[in-house]
Amino acid sequence: MSVHDLNQLLLISSLVLLVAVVAVRLSSRSGLPSLLLYLGIGIAMGQDGIGNVTFNNAQLTQVIGYAALVVILAEGGLGTKWNEVKPALPMAACLATVGVAASVGVTAAGAHYLVGLDWRQALIIGAVVSSTDAAAVFSVLRRVPLPSRVTGVLEAESGFNDAPVVILVVAFSTAGPVHHWYVLVGEIALELAIGAAIGLAVGWLGAYGLRHVALPASGLYPIAVMAIAVTAYAAGAMAHGSGFLAVYLAAMILGNARLPHWAATRGFAEGVGWIAQIGMFVLLGLLVTPHLLLDDIWPAVIIGLFLTVVARPLSVVLGLLPFRMPWQEKALLSWAGLRGAVPIILATIPMVNGVENNEEIFNIVFVLVVVYTLVQGPTLPGLARVLGLGKGTAADDLGIESAPLERLRGHLLSVPVPEGSKLHGVEIGELRLPAGSAVTLVVRDEKSFVPSPTTVLRQNDELLVVATDPVRDAAEQRLRAVAQGGKLVGWLGVPDSK
């Protein structure tokens, strides 16, 4: 590649990113998942579009798609709140196993008997579309105020169900007879166990290291966090486990470990996640040939309708049988099984393996994802309101950012007071911070001052708290406790953090 070609590539890439940034704004205002706009950009650049770019490398698309999915899962895990996901983990695990099995079988039966596909093709499509998409779920659900249990189940399910689905798609796409069902179940269980163990171990070790080793520059923390998350994926995959589950769990541990410079780390992860989504969706748009989709529109619509109104609700009912959950929440979970780029990426596996009629499989999956994302995403908030599951916006979480002071053996905590926080109206002395920590500065209306014990905190204040190493965690816990429960939190039965 010459310097001139490189300059052209950089120019085209930058223009695509600029257009995609505008698309982010449009999607956030319209309520449409950004997936559709990014795919549109790729299609517009492709063979039947204004760019007339010919791209048909399914193997490269699969590799880049896997890499992008790792970044998206890492970003999603970093933003997942443990207190919301913890009670939802058993339900999410059942949906990612029992629910996936039910969805694959029922969808495959519909594809075989309603559309006339042979059983191998039907099973591949059933497996491909049974995976909910992490990028679609994270982007849509964080704009929809749902009960924390529903949000936790959907987010954890989207992080868990990629592993069993990938195994099934690879098994169904391999030449020769498909393994017996009990062999597949054993492989899925083993991969999930290995991936979970490695993800938890890497996440804990990474969080411990970052909390106890001060890096020379704050900008290194975001890079270190993403590197740890990617390491979890690589270690899980090399150990023949689920790398996707490993990266999600490792990132979730890191995201709940209250690491130094967390605001900068979170912002960096979100930016990298957006780039991964944009690149992945644009590439998938390039891979598709629009004029070849016409013959597969109706099969895709029929299979998608059967998946949405029969297979997904049945998988939710069967997967959640051991749990007590109101029918309204089950109905919302059934409708919120959002598909996105993951099924399209998985549809490249039969293309790479040379499965018969692989282009038909890819086209059906592509049309199905586009049509039903267009239907489900924008209607989700309305359905939540109809079911009585919409809720008002809660007070923002107390986003404490910590900067280690290595030479002074302490930490400087930056504590904003968000709207709705119960820190509003609390005097400095009423915080009852542990000995070894103190509020040293308050920034209010762009002016800073040293507070007294009787200074009353207000919304939108920012506090600077200095804490020594031994009490840093206790100081953070006390601040979060007061923010959630008010100044009497320790006296009203809620565990005090001192």
Q: Provide the whole-model pTM.
A: 0.75
Distance CA 498, CA 493 (A): 14
pLDDT digits (tens, 9 = 90+) for 272-321: 888 888 888 888 888 888 888 888 899 999 999 999 999 999 999 999 99
Distance CA 465, CA 275 (A): 35
Question: Quick one: average pLDDT of 457-485?
Answer: 86
Question: Quick one: average pLDDT of 323-343?
Answer: 85
Say what percent of the chain tops pLDDT 90: 17
Distance CA 107, CA 310 (A): 8
How much is the pLDDT for 41? 79
How much is the pLDDT for 393? 44
Residue 118 CB partners (closer than 8 Å, separation 6+)? 112
How much is the pLDDT for 168? 86
Given pLDDT bands bounded at 50, 70 and 90, which one contains residue 11?
Answer: low
Given pLDDT bands bounded at 50, 70 and 90, which one contains residue 340?
Answer: confident
Quick check: 5 pLDDT over 70? no
Residue pair 439/463 in contact (Cβ under 8 Å)? The answer is yes
Q: What is the CA radius of gyration of the chain?
A: 24
How much is the pLDDT for 497? 41
